[in-house]
Amino acid sequence: MGCTVSCCGDESDHKTASQQHAHQSSTLSQVDFESIPLFTFEGQTVTAKICHVHDGDTVTIGFDLLATLSTTNSNNKRHHYVKFNMRLLGLDAPEVKLKKTAPHRELEMKAGALVRDVLAQRIDTKLVKVHFRGKDKYGRLMGTITQRDGIDINAWLIEQKLAKPYAGKKKESWNVEELRDVVKRSQSLMS
């Protein structure tokens, strides 16, 4: 699970790295972690920025972790920005990279690139709502993306026939007719 972290706050909050480590160590050693539940994003909804669209079902999102965790202190000047790769839940889009032996390789990669471009045109660098629903087998967060206008992007991709419904089991292969249709629909949406 790719993750990048950046933290900032008031200048008065900055200490040397060794001071911070010593303080954390003494504080952590006194915490009874047996009574603390395991942290998860499951069921959380955040406002996030789409940082990158990898393909039709995988994006990189960035958000303020402290704002997500702290709903009681709106005057908090500290931020803890994180970035995660996220798989769009419940769908499978054509791939942009495939093994050389994959059936219909060139056509699927063309369809995959077009779906990626359509998705990027709609959401790349934009603020969205993300509702997390667990992790996939590669450790990526999974979730749904809702645009500010209320459109559920996951459902929209399926409705537009740019992606197939996917329940996490064995993926259904794309046939030539489906891939040609994806190319045609994607090109139409791009114009």
Q: What is the 3-state secondary structure (H, E, C) of 148-181?
A: CCCCEHHHHHHHCCCCEECCCCCCCCCCHHHHHH
Domains of the chain: 3-190 (2.40.50.90)
pLDDT tens profile 116-136 = 999 999 999 999 999 999 998
For position 1, what pLDDT does the model report? 43
Q: Is 71 helix (H, G, I), strand (E, B) or coil?
A: coil
Question: Which residues, at least 6 apart from 42, have a Cβ–Cβ distance to it below 8 Å?
Answer: 132, 133, 134
Which pTM value belongs to this model?
A: 0.80
pLDDT tens profile 104-116 = 999 999 999 999 9
Provide φ and ψ at 114, rounded to 5°.
-70, -40
Distance CA 13, CA 26 (A): 18
